[in-house]
Amino acid sequence: MELLNFQNPNFLRSTWTARDIDAATVIFAGRSNSGKSSVLNALCGGRFARTARLPGRTRAINLFALQRGQILADLPGYGYAVVAKEEQRTWSSKLMYFIKAPCLCGLVLVVDCRRGLQERDMALLHAASRLPALVLMNKADKLGRAALRDCVESAKSTLATLPMASTVLTFSALKKRGLEKLRYGVTDLFLGEATPSTDENNAN
């Protein structure tokens, strides 16, 4: 399979709606501070999306176009308590609306591997159940091998209860660990070739 070229995407715009998107789009979603923007940057080999030590950095949906026109969408995180309740509710309903957009072809769910899949992640997975999902256990540099394996196994058994095709990968945006598998995984999402959760998963 030929890998997509993820290098040097063009920032298109910040938005809250998918109405103006006319190309296949993969979304990067997850809890605030799980590392969505860092993962996108690692995938694309540069600093394109803004990241921050404190949660709540990404405050709109940022669209980046690959060389061939496909789009990566960096979403604001959920579960960030410091953002006012009202604003959280607004984001949440906008995100839930956005993930129904027909242009979407896949979901990269970025999870902090120390926390594992949480309630809000599950709510997102349910809402996006028509999309194949690549579940990234990010910040793998923070856990030892055995703990990582446990977290992957636990995610896999949770995902097995959901209807969509899903793959679990361990990843470190900091150490750029798991990049090749991420590139293949995101290419698969664009090509509509995501594998079911029982197939080729790993705890690298």
Question: What are the residues binding ligand GTP (CB under 6 A)?
Answer: 30, 32-38, 51-53, 55-58, 76-77, 138-139, 141-142, 172-174
CA distances from 184 to 44, 61, 204 (A): 13, 24, 15
Shortest reach from residue 58's CB to Mg ion, in Å: 3
Write the secondary structure of 141-177 as one string of H (helix), E (strand) and C (coil): HHCCHHHHHHHHHHHHHHHCCCCCCEEEEECECCCCE
Shortest reach from residue 138's CB to ligand GTP, in Å: 5
Q: Distance (Å, rounded) from C-alpha 13 to C-alpha 65?
A: 10
162 Cβ contact partners less than 8 Å away, ≥ 6 residues apart: 125, 126, 129
x/- map, 34-73, Mg ion, by CB under 5 A: --xx-------------------xx---------------
Nearer to ligand GTP, 127 or 174 (CB): 174
Residue 173 interaction partner, one of Mg ion, ligand GTP, none, beta carbon < 5-8 Å per kind: ligand GTP
Shortest reach from residue 31's CB to ligand GTP, in Å: 7
Q: Distance (Å, rounded) from C-alpha 33 to C-alpha 52?
A: 8
Torsion of CA 174, 180, 186, 192, to 10 degrees: -160
Nearer to ligand GTP, 130 or 175 (CB): 175
Torsion of CA 66, 72, 73, 79, to 10 degrees: -140
Q: Compute φ and ψ for 28, nearest 5 degrees.
A: -110, 110
Shortest reach from residue 146's CB to ligand GTP, in Å: 18
Shortest reach from residue 198's CB to ligand GTP, in Å: 26
Ramachandran region of residue 58, left (φ > 0), alpha (ψ -120 to 50) or beta?
A: beta
Question: Is residue 25 near Mg ion by the rule CB under 5 A?
Answer: no
Stretch that binds Mg ion, among 30-38, 81-89, 146-154, 173-181 (CB under 5 A): 30-38
Nearer to Mg ion, 54 or 84 (CB): 54
Shortest reach from residue 142's CB to ligand GTP, in Å: 5
Residues making contact with Mg ion (CB under 5 A): 36-37, 57-58
